[in-house]
Amino acid sequence: MDYSHDDAGLARQPIGYWSWAAHDATVTHIRAALAEHGLTQPPWWVLNQLSGADEKGRPRAEVVALLGGYLNVGDSLEPEIDTLIDRGLATQDPTARLRLTAEGHALHAVALERVSRASAEIHAGIPDEDFVAALKVLQRMIHNVGGTAWHH
């Protein structure tokens, strides 16, 4: 791979630009993979939360609370959950417990395979130790400026 600058030049590059460019490129790639299955990220996150639930499902409030602050999706999860129910991919019982339907499980399975392939494409040629080092650097930068970040 050809890099944009030599090492000394890269050391002087603005992290804001490169972290934004990496975010934009990788999120666009994942979103395109999800779009192949009629999904966007927030409903995908909900499907993921419900796919790991047992037959009792998960309380809607728990799913919303867990994902609500994730990448600033906030209140947009409620209509996304309703859309999953309307599409027959999830059900909600009278106690507000959510469960995936057979169709929801099937969609999750095919979308997971596609997203896994997209993720592998993003990680191609990057040894795990380099990936971990990059994340540690980004986490340190977030810490250095008093920011917070978490991922499930």
Distance of alpha carbon 37 from alpha carbon 86, whole angstroms: 16
Average pLDDT over residues 11-36: 93
pLDDT tens digits along 91-145 = 999 999 999 999 999 999 999 999 999 999 999 999 999 999 999 999 999 999 9
The pLDDT assigned to 151 comes to 59
pLDDT tens digits along 88-99 = 999 999 999 999
Distance of alpha carbon 99 from alpha carbon 49, whole angstroms: 10
Using 50, 70 and 90 to split pLDDT, how confident is the model at 83?
very high
**pTM, 2 dp:** 0.83
Contact assessment for residue 108 and residue 47, using Cβ atoms and an 8 Å cutoff: yes
Using 50, 70 and 90 to split pLDDT, how confident is the model at 54?
confident
- Higher pLDDT pick, 69 / 44: 44
Average pLDDT over residues 68-77: 72
